[in-house]
Structure 1
């Protein structure tokens, strides 16, 4: 397999339609019924933490992070992380994850949560949210509800119902 001329860059405002097509291809119409989408309804993602991957001019991947609250404590919700199915297994998702998490750390954010495949996300430091710490606005498999502490103490002080927050 030949190497890709991959470029990971911050998401541009005009990337929206291509990202939506990518989400539709990767996740299908049922994606809107899932609990993580409830955390994104009516709330924009944070452009400084959201990235795209391009091969030439073709958008092949995207990661978005949005704001949320648990009680009064701000946190970040990662997702969706999407890679065009024809480009799976080439490290694109990992590159997008590193870019996004590095930007979140540099921005002084404390905690990132997501609902996803634990074997994939543990390599980035995510661990299961302990029972009773956080509650999502819908059903979720506890083994797939993960968090990553970006600043010391963020996990200990973050408890309660997770709800959407307005972008800063």
Structure 2
């Protein structure tokens, strides 16, 4: 049995510890982190998943960005504790949070990730969308939350407040 909730301020250190465990120590040096620096995450989409004993087992966060001046969500990071990987918990968080993003009126989502994994959720390569370097353009993926949301949207990805 798992409990899914919005991340709270009290969860912050525990969430950061899970990210540190799941990703390389230099994760905050990635270009996507420069887009997050000084920008508040979209709180309603930042979710934590706990097991029956209250232990944090999976997390997901979203951040507002702009692509060619148009608003978008930046999905990530999503992390699952190594002892729970392969149970579908990352997929659960992605499905639940994308449904909530649609409900909240967001139209498009962007991420930097592995196409074979994220394509099963509907993500595809975004030609013409440029993440800050160094980012492999083949890993820049997007999803329409409403049909055609990425049509004619291209350009640099910038902070939401730029």
Band of TM-score, shorter chain: over 0.9
Stretches of structure 2 lacking an aligned partner (at least 5 in a row): none
Structure 2 partner of 1:128 = 125
CA-CA distance at 1:72 after TM superposition:
2.4
The 3-state SS of whatever aligns with 2:26 is helix
State the 1:125 CA deviation. 0.3
Q: Work out which of the residue numbers 155, 162, 165 in structure 1 matches 2:157.
A: 162
Distance 2:38 2:16 in 1: 15
Q: Is the 8 A contact 1:51 1:99 kept in 2?
A: no
Counterparts of 1:84 and 1:17 in 2: how far apart (Å)?
15
TM-score normalised by L of structure 2 = 0.93
Alignment partners' CA distance in 2, 1:88 and 1:122: 18
* Alpha-carbon RMSD: 1.2
Q: Which residue, 49, 53, 62 being the options, matches 1:53?
A: 49
Q: Which runs of 4+ in 1 moved over 3 A?
A: none
| 1:99 and 2:85 matched | no
With normalisation by structure 1, the TM-score equals 0.90
Kept in 2, the 8 Å contact 1:128–1:147? The answer is yes
| 1:36 alignment partner, one of 26, 32, 51 | 32
Structure 1 unaligned spans of 5+:
none
Contact 1:8 1:95 in 2 (8 A): no
The number of aligned residues is 160
Q: Kindly state the Cα deviation for residue 91 of structure 1 after the two structures are TM-superposed.
A: 0.9
Partner of 1:143: 138
> What is the CA distance between 1:160 and its match in structure 2?
1.4
2:31–2:134 contact (8 Å) kept in structure 1: yes
- 2:64 is matched with 67
